[in-house]
Structure 1
Amino acid sequence: MLESLNHLMSTADGNLQSLSALLQSIAAGDLTARMSGEFRGVFAQMRDDANATASQLAQIVGNIQQSAVSINAAASEIAAGNQGLSQRTEQQAANLEETAASLEELTSTVKQNAESAREANQLAIGAARVASQGGDVVGKVVDTMSGIEASSKKIADIISVIDGIAFQTNILALNAAVEAARTGEQGRGFAVVASEVRTLAQRSSGAAKEIKDLIEDSVQRVAEGSALVHSAGKTMGDVVASVQRVTDIMGEISAASQEQSAGIEQVNQTMTHMDETTQQNAALVEEATAAARSMEEQAVQLTDAVAIFKIDAGQARRADTRAAAPVAHLLNKVRSA
């Protein structure tokens, strides 16, 4: 009986030593160690449980190792992608800033053009008003010249009548002188008067002829002046119409400039908003880059932490297959972004 008890104690001690060796290997990081040999009863169950625990722990550690490696690679690629995205975003922000500055200058120029167009429109309106007044004045001058022409013609007619009267008076004075000569001494005084009347009639006729010539010349000049005034009136009418057309065009230009100024102002506001959004995006990209770098460092620390464990190659390959799919999906998302 004592021998049986000693054999039992020896068997139990050997089984416990095998378990202790397994636990020591696990504690040392060797997850490939297993309990082997013949075990019976509770020790066989203990062996199976210990081996199952070691296998499951090796599988977990393998998953952690491969996931840490994959996460490290993904974090590195994400950080590199974010770095490139950050550079492009900064370049875009700089371009938008330059565009916004140029657009601001353009906005100022367009506003100045709109103001100049408005002032030019006011000047054109004033010029149209002055031209219209000038047209009215020329119209009055035309009417006045027409009146002068008519009056000159009437004066010419009156001078013609005076010339006719002087001619008739000259004839009558000549007849009176002839009749006075026939009467002899009694008609001498009357003959002298008739001679004086004839002289006055001749002088009146000469003066009337000179006045008639002057009036005819004046009438001709007035007619020429009237024709010129009529032509000037027509030209002034054309000028008024042209100025009115210019006024209409300047009004359209002024309205278009106002609309253009409003449109440029709206685009300027949009560009400013885009610039602010791009600046915010750049800040977010920098934060994402910092987060990716931090994740990369933590993945390295995790890799270093589980590197002390030793697992077999088969478990490592299975863990790599399971970890690759979600990491690849994550990298695809990063590339597409």
Structure 2
Amino acid sequence: MFRRIRISTCVFLLLMVFFVMQLVSSSFSFNGFRIDYQNFTQVNVGSQQRDALTMSWVALLQTRNTLNRAATRAARNVAQEQVSVLMTSARTYLAQADAHFKQYLAVPRITDKGVELTGNVQVSYEKLQAALAELIVFLDSGQLQPFLDQPTQSFQDNFEADFSAYVEYINGHLQVAADSSRESYSDSKWSFGIVVTLSLLITLLGLMWLKKALLQPLETMREHFELIAGGNLAERIADFGRNEIGVMFSALQKMQASLAGMVHSVRQGTDAMLHGVQEIAAGNDDLSSRTEEQASALEETAASMEQLTSIVKQNADNAHQAAKLARQTSVTAQKGGEITGDVVTTMQHIALSSQKISDITSVIDGIAFQTNILALNAAVEAARAGEQGRGFAVVAGEVRSLAQRSAQAAKEIKGLIDESVSRVRQGSDLVESAGSTMSDIVRSVAQVTDIMGEIASASDEQSRGIEQVAQAVTEMDGVTQQNAALVEQASSAVRSLAEQAGMLANTVSVFNLASARDEYLINDSNDKSAIAVRDSPDWKTA
């Protein structure tokens, strides 16, 4: 029966039963508390009324006793001070009686009878209080005879009767409240006992159901889990109905069958894996030998590239050195061209100076010619003068001789200067030709410098390219070495994988698959029904 009812439904019903019992128990408890509260309220109100009325009655008695004592002393003609003290006390007691009676009236009445009795008490109290107040007036005025003639005792007897009736009523009412509380306590004990008994009974039934519907199936499931953990996949798992536990056992059946299928597949795959691992190991050995050959070839290539790199670097250095020398030569040629230009300029200045000297020599020659003419004229004039002009003729002859020699010297200087000017012109032409040649040399040296710079740049690019190739070859060598190491690691891993595959085969051989796969086929329909129960709306709601 327990296997047909869903656990969620049983738990819900059990909780509802406990809820109803708790509701009933709470109702009984609340009713008991309500009755106790009402009784407590009545007792409290009755006690307040009784205490206030009693204290008022006591104060009235003390007032009358004090007045009687004062009247006795006044009749004996005792000192007036003692009488005044007693009168003051009487007034105080009467005021206390009024205060307590007001407290009594302020407390609300519980029943209609209490209201009626309170009215009687109030009437008799007012009469007694008025009589006592009148007695105080008689004593204050010294009227002893009216004091003695007043019927105060009858007022006191009436109030005492009404007081006793009200106290008796209050005591009876308090007794009723006490009896009601005892009855409520007795009912609470019986209801508590019944609720506890029913709770114990339902708890025992719930424990029995819990053991039957949950604990025993869970213990059985634990045993199956231990068997599966021990490698026994052939133990048959019984059907536990269509409730939640049944769904769990159906899932356990499916898990057992799935594990059996997986173990069977693992066994088949282990053999195939061993064969594949052996082939991989052989391929890795072949790859390892080829990788080692490739690594040695790359090492030789790397060494050759390093040698070629050093040669190219040396050529690049030489090209840089030649370019540097060409630049220095170009600078020197430029300086030579500048100096040659300066020489040409200087030669031109010299030619101009020589031309000026030639002009000056021509002027000197003209002056000598004119001086010679003047000397001839002077000689002619001296000859005409005769004896008197002989000395002047001598002087004129000397001047003429000097003029002729000066003219001869000027002619010689002019010839030399013309020859010098001609040679200066030839030198200037040669210097100009040399300057043009130096300019051609400078241009050629500049072209050589540019070509050497291009050669140096090309050598640098070639050197960098070869360095990159060498670096790439070095990296390829490193990668090849790493590949060789990886191949060795792969070979080691394959050998380890082969060992692990053997261990896996030994591990899988522990499982007992005698009938687990057949049972999976038998219980396939049960699995589908269990899954249907699990996927149903009721299952999800529960």
1:219 paired residue among 421, 433, 447:
421
1:170 paired residue among 372, 376, 383:
372
1:91 alignment partner, SS class: helix
Query: How many correspondences in the alignment?
Result: 233
User: How far 1:123 sits from its partner (Å)?
Assistant: 3.0
Distance 2:355 2:363 in 1: 13
User: How far 1:98 sits from its partner (Å)?
Assistant: 1.5
Partner of residue 437, structure 2: 235
User: How far 1:82 sits from its partner (Å)?
Assistant: 6.3
Q: Which amino acid aligns with 1:234?
A: S
Would you say the 8 A contact 1:76–1:292 is kept in 2? no
1:122 paired residue among 318, 324, 329:
324
Distance 2:326 2:280 in 1: 67
Partner of residue 274, structure 1: 476
- Report Cα offsets for 1:117-141 as digits up to 9, x if no partner: 3333333333322222222221111
Would you say the 8 A contact 1:149–1:222 is kept in 2? yes
Distance 2:375 2:297 in 1: 112
Q: Structure 1 unaligned runs (5+)?
A: 1-62, 297-337
- Report Cα offsets for 1:266-290 as digits up to 9, x if no partner: 1111100111222333445566778
Partner of residue 192, structure 1: 394
Distance 1:211 1:226 in 2: 22
Equivalent residues in 2 for 1:240-279 (5 A)?
Answer: 240-279=442-481
Pick the structure with greater CA Rg.
2
Q: Does 2:412 correspond to 1:207?
A: no
Could you tell me the TM-score, scaled by structure 1's length?
Answer: 0.59
Partner of residue 140, structure 1: 342
Could you tell me the TM-score, scaled by structure 2's length?
Answer: 0.38
Distance 2:279 2:318 in 1: 59
User: How far 1:244 sits from its partner (Å)?
Assistant: 2.0
Distance 2:302 2:342 in 1: 59
Q: Does 2:304 correspond to 1:102?
A: yes
Q: Which amino acid aligns with 1:119?
A: Q
Would you say the 8 A contact 1:76–1:293 is kept in 2? no
Distance 1:118 1:129 in 2: 16
Distance 1:99 1:177 in 2: 114
Distance 1:256 1:267 in 2: 16
Q: Which amino acid aligns with 1:128?
A: S
Equivalent residues in 2 for 1:305-320 (5 A)?
Answer: none
Q: Does 2:381 correspond to 1:179?
A: yes
Distance 1:260 1:101 in 2: 18
2:356 alignment partner, SS class: helix
Distance 1:270 1:181 in 2: 119
Distance 1:77 1:226 in 2: 94
Distance 1:248 1:185 in 2: 92
User: How far 1:211 sits from its partner (Å)?
Assistant: 1.0
Distance 1:242 1:216 in 2: 39
Compute the RMSD of aligned alpha carbons: 3.5
- Report Cα offsets for 1:224-255 as digits up to 9, x if no partner: 11001101111111122222222222332333
Distance 2:286 2:421 in 1: 95
Distance 1:116 1:155 in 2: 57
User: How far 1:150 sits from its partner (Å)?
Assistant: 0.8
Would you say the 8 A contact 1:142–1:230 is kept in 2? yes
Which is worse superposed, 122-131 or 282-291?
282-291
Distance 1:83 1:170 in 2: 128
Would you say the 8 A contact 1:75–1:295 is kept in 2? no
Q: Which amino acid aligns with 2:419?
A: D
Which is worse superposed, 87-96 or 260-269?
87-96
User: How far 1:198 sits from its partner (Å)?
Assistant: 1.1
Distance 2:293 2:374 in 1: 117
Q: Which amino acid aligns with 1:150?
A: L
Distance 1:194 1:293 in 2: 142
Distance 2:416 2:286 in 1: 101
User: How far 1:147 sits from its partner (Å)?
Assistant: 0.3
Q: Structure 2 unaligned runs (5+)?
A: 1-267, 499-542
Q: Which amino acid aligns with 1:269?
A: Q
User: How far 1:295 sits from its partner (Å)?
Assistant: 11
Distance 1:167 1:101 in 2: 98
Q: Which amino acid aligns with 1:115?
A: D
Distance 1:177 1:294 in 2: 147
Partner of residue 62, structure 2: none
Distance 2:368 2:487 in 1: 117
